Amino acid sequence: MKIEYFHASKFGSGEKLAGEFKRLMSERGITVNIHHMRDVKPKNLPAADLYVFSSPGRLGKPPIYVRRFLQGVDLAPGSRYAILNTQGAAGVNKKGELPTDEELSKYRQMLPIMRKILDGKGLHFVASEVIDVFDLKGPMEEGWEDKVEAFVERVL
């Protein structure tokens, strides 16, 4: 089994997730090739049994170049994909208030936007997971390695 993994990490958390995903898969005898979306043209992605896409958030959405990358993906309908995102951890505002569910959901439209693009191409969604990142640049939430391992089990 071969997995192609495309991330868009800026500060390193998404890259760490990719490395952990690869490590856990290699323990299971599975090859994972990691790419930054900036380094790859989305047309003609290498053949794989599973594609993983990973994005941070920017103003509630994936960064524009991630949306463009996903829109440019040209894979056979039915190709399997999974999403392993990072997002900003919810914190209190200047008044000491936590965001409401509605505010949080506006800040976190990355997964639905990515799914809409990829499902719209007839690709087959397998699983998703998201990891909270504190203070934009990390650290990631405690126990993130366990969440990645559970994600690995779900995609297999």
Ligand X SMILES: Cc1cc2nc3c(=O)[nH]c(=O)nc-3n(C[C@H](O)[C@H](O)[C@H](O)COP(=O)(O)O)c2cc1C
Asked whether position 12 contacts ligand X by CB under 6 A, the answer is yes
SS3 83: strand
Give the number of other Cβ atoms within 10 Å of residue 29's Cβ. 7
* Half-sphere exposure in the Cβ direction for 121 (13 Å, CA): 19
Residue 58 contacts ligand X per CB under 6 A:
yes
Q: Please report how close the Cβ of residue 45 comes to ligand X at its closest, in angstroms.
A: 21
76 part of the interface to ligand X, by CB under 6 A: no
Contacts 24+ apart (CB under 8 A), 90-96: 90/132, 91/134
* Smallest gap from residue 22 Cβ to ligand X (A): 15
- Of the chain, the end-to-end C-alpha distance in Å amounts to 10
Q: Which residue's Cβ lies closest to ligand X?
A: 57
Give me the 15-54 binding string for ligand X, x by CB under 6 A, dash otherwise: ----------------------------------------
Which residue from 58, 57, 79, 77 is spatially nearest to 4, judged by alpha carbons?
Answer: 79
* Least CB distance to ligand X at residue 121 (A): 24
Q: Which residues bind ligand X (CB under 6 A)?
A: 9-14, 56-60, 86-88, 107-108, 133, 136
